[in-house]
């Protein structure tokens, strides 16, 4: 296990399990080389001195937005810079605040800004844990896509026996290892991922396109890279941040997307075709801006090339995963598409469902395979959905 160059924000709240957080921090920095920034709540400061955490992290510990030496919008920078925000121990209170979007101190503000990068390791009394309010808060956060390293059952500090005990440090380290380093499932594999929409120009300033944000494709590319693959992302015009270390080619039209994929198709092991190729292309491109008083009443349309089918014709060995956006008869239509286009798998999104598909940070999908298996992946962050798609496909293999 190594966390060199990994930035972890460790948020500590007021629970007696705090002593375990000190040991966790010591292991993260001293044994595994992580770069850890500790943030403590006011209650946490009553349990333990920040000096312990400053010594193990080698950095100042902050607890208030108004701390001396704490400038400007650093809470936003902390959230952005961290590869993961781990709240350990996480009290019922911080979970409730996160579930309600409350940002009334430094840690809760960071959690709100970091969103689904945050993972909670709860620690509390069994009655607090089992209280429907807490359970609902945890469910709500899980649905949004926040991570949880669940508590264990055992003897609690108050002498009650039940669920609420902070899980052991090794489990937390294992979770961080899986999330930050992956398990090299795609080591030595070449992976091509497409993302975003395409733009089909009518004249130099007008185009037909769609609402695809590229988030699902980016999540797949990042997960594949984490799993050790050599990844190339081919993306249409998107406004999401693409990490500098992810090899990327930007394209605009379906034709450019097709040419780029064909040029880069040599010995590709996996193609994740998450791009929403715009099928409706103006039949003719007019190379000066069409004027208002030009009497255009119709735009003749032609269809874009079916890129993934062309790719399949040329590359029989690649394991190809297509994506399908369908509302009515989605299952049948998606499976038909998989057969027609020669895909190994197809991922069906139903954009009618809340928080699913285009532009959202979350998704809920069903994955179908050539040999008739199906997997329902319930609503979660696109990163989590991508992780699970890769897990299933690497375990099931081509054409299964
Ligand atoms: O648009 P459709 O539902 O047919 O898309 C299914 C799959 O086919 C997607 O993976 C998409 O990227 C791909 N596709 C393509 N070329 C097109 C249209 C879609 O490769 N012209």
Q: Which atom of ligand 1 is nearest to the CA of 307?
A: 20
Cβ 353 under 6 angstroms from ligand 1? no
* Cα of 68 from ligand 1 centre, angstroms: 54
Q: Is 158 a catalytic residue?
A: yes
Mutate to test the pocket of ligand 1, among 261, 273, 313 (most ligand atoms within 8 A of CB): 273
Angle at alpha carbon of residue 193, lines to 187 and 198, rounded to 5° = 170
* pLDDT band, very low/low/confident/very high, at 368 (cuts 50, 70, 90): very high
Which is the catalytic residue, given 88, 158, 281, 319? 158
Mean pLDDT for the stretch of residues 61-72: 80
Mean pLDDT for the stretch of residues 17-40: 97
pLDDT of res. 239: 95
Q: Under CATH, which architecture does the 184-396 domain have?
A: 3-Layer(aba) Sandwich (3.40)
* Cα of 256 from ligand 1 centre, angstroms: 15
pLDDT digits (tens, 9 = 90+) for 180-221: 988 889 999 999 999 999 999 999 999 999 999 999 999 999
Lowest mean pLDDT among 75-79, 156-160, 184-188, 342-346: 156-160
More confident residue, 359 or 217: 217
pLDDT of res. 101: 97
HEC letters along the chain: CCCCCCEEEEEECCCCCHHHHHHHHHHHHHHCCCEEEEEECHHHHHHCCHHHHHHHHCCCCECCCCCCCCCCCHHHHHHHHCCEEEEEEECHHHHHHHHHCCCCCHHHHHHHHHHHHEEEEECCCHHHHHCHHHHHHHHHHHHHCCEECCCEEEECCCCCEEEEECCCHHHHHHHHHHHHHCCCCCCCCEEEEEECECCEEEECCEEECCCCCCHHHHHHHHHHHHCCCEEEEEECCCCCCCCCCCCEEECCCHHHHHHHHHHCCCCCCEEEECCECCCEEECCCCCCCCCCCCCCCCCCEEECCCHHHHHHHHCCCCEEEEEEECCCCHHHHHHHHHHHHCCCEEEEECCCCCCCCCCCCEEEEEEEECCCCEEEEEEEEHHHHHHHHHHHHHHHCCCC
In angstroms, the CA 303 to CA 342 distance is: 19
In angstroms, the CA 83 to CA 9 distance is: 8
List every span in the chain annotated with CATH 3.40.50.1950: 7-180
Partners of 40 in beta bridges: 12
Look at residue 294 and tell me whether its pLDDT is greater than 70: yes
For residue 21, the number of C-alpha atoms closer than 13 Å in the C-beta half-sphere is: 34
* Cα of 279 from ligand 1 centre, angstroms: 8
Look at residue 400 and tell me whether its pLDDT is greater than 80: no
* pLDDT band, very low/low/confident/very high, at 70 (cuts 50, 70, 90): low
| Sheet-wide strand order for 118-122 | 35-40, 7-12, 84-90, 118-122, 147-148
Mean pLDDT for the stretch of residues 350-371: 83
In the block, which residue shows the tokens 């715009």? 278
Look at residue 398 and tell me whether its pLDDT is greater than 70: no
pLDDT of res. 74: 80
Cβ 337 under 6 angstroms from ligand 1? yes
* Cα of 247 from ligand 1 centre, angstroms: 23
Cβ 322 under 6 angstroms from ligand 1? yes
In angstroms, the CA 373 to CA 389 distance is: 13
Say what percent of the chain tops pLDDT 70: 98
Mean pLDDT for the stretch of residues 66-94: 88
Cβ 304 under 6 angstroms from ligand 1? yes
Question: Which of 119, 87, 123 shows the shortest CA–CA distance to 106?
Answer: 87
Mean pLDDT for the stretch of residues 342-354: 88
List every span in the chain annotated with CATH 3.40.50.10300: 184-396
Look at residue 86 and tell me whether its pLDDT is greater than 80: yes
pTM over 0.85: no
Cβ 277 under 6 angstroms from ligand 1? yes
295 burial type by CB count under 10 A (0-12 exposed, 13-18 middle, 19+ buried): exposed
26 burial type by CB count under 10 A (0-12 exposed, 13-18 middle, 19+ buried): middle
Cβ 192 under 6 angstroms from ligand 1? no
Mean pLDDT for the stretch of residues 326-340: 95
* Cα of 79 from ligand 1 centre, angstroms: 35
Cβ 310 under 6 angstroms from ligand 1? no
Q: Which atom of ligand 1 is nearest to the CA of 304?
A: 21
Nearest CA to ligand 1 atom 10: 322
In angstroms, the CA 236 to CA 257 distance is: 8
CATH 3.10.290.10 fits 7-180, yes or no: no
pLDDT digits (tens, 9 = 90+) for 242-276: 998 899 999 999 999 999 999 999 999 999 999 99
pLDDT digits (tens, 9 = 90+) for 91-129: 999 999 999 999 999 999 999 999 989 999 999 999 999
Cβ 311 under 6 angstroms from ligand 1? no
* Cα of 246 from ligand 1 centre, angstroms: 23
Nearest CA to ligand 1 atom 2: 324
Q: Does 89 sit behind a cis peptide bond, omega within 30 degrees of 0 on the bond before it?
A: yes
Tokens of 275: 């791009």
Cβ 275 under 6 angstroms from ligand 1? yes
Partners of 114 in beta bridges: none
More confident residue, 380 or 317: 317
């Amino acid at each position: 296990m190594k966390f060199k160059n990994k930035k972890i924000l460790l948020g500590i709240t007021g629970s007696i399990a705090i002593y375990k957080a000190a040991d966790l921090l010591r292991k993260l920095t001293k044994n595994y080389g992580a770069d850890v920034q500790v943030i403590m709540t006011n209650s946490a400061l009553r349990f333990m001195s920040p000096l312990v955490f400053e010594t193990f992290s080698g950095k100042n510990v902050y607890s208030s937005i108004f701390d001396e030496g704490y400038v400007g919008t650093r809470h936003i920078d902390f959230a952005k810079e961290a590869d993961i925000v781990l709240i350990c121990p996480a009290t019922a209170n911080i979970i409730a605040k996160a579930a309600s979007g409350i940002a009334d101190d430094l840690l809760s503000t960071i959690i709100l800004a970091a969103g689904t990068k945050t993972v909670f390791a709860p620690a509390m009394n069994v009655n607090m844990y089992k209280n429907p309010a807490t359970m609902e808060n945890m469910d709500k956060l899980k649905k949004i896509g926040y991570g949880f390293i669940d508590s264990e059952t055992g003897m609690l500090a108050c002498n009650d026996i039940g669920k609420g005990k902070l899980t052991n440090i090794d489990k937390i380290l294992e979770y961080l290892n899986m999330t930050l380093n992956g398990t090299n499932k795609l080591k030595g594999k070449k992976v091509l991922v497409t993302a975003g929409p395409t733009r089909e120009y009518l004249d130099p300033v007008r185009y037909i396109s769609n609402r695809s944000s590229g988030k699902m494709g980016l999540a797949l590319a990042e997960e594949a890279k984490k799993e050790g693959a050599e990844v190339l992302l081919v993306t249409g015009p998107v406004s999401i941040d693409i990490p500098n270390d992810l090899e990327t080619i930007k394209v605009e039209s379906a034709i450019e997307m097709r040419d780029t994929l064909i040029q880069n198709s040599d010995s590709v092991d996996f193609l994740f075709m998450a791009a929403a190729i715009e099928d409706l292309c103006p039949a003719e491109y007019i190379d000066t801006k069409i004027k208002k008083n030009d009497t255009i009443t119709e735009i003749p349309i032609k269809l874009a090339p079916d890129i993934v089918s062309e790719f399949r014709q040329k590359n029989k060995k690649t394991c190809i995963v297509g994506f399908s956006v369908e509302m009515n008869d989605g299952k049948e239509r998606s499976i038909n598409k998989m057969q027609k286009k020669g895909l190994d798998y197809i991922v069906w999104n139903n954009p009618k469902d809340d928080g699913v598909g285009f532009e959202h940070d979350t998704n809920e999908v069903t994955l179908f395979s050539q040999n008739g298996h199906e997997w329902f992946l319930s609503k979660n962050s696109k990163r989590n959905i991508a992780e699970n798609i890769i897990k299933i496909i690497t375990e099931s293999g081509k054409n299964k």
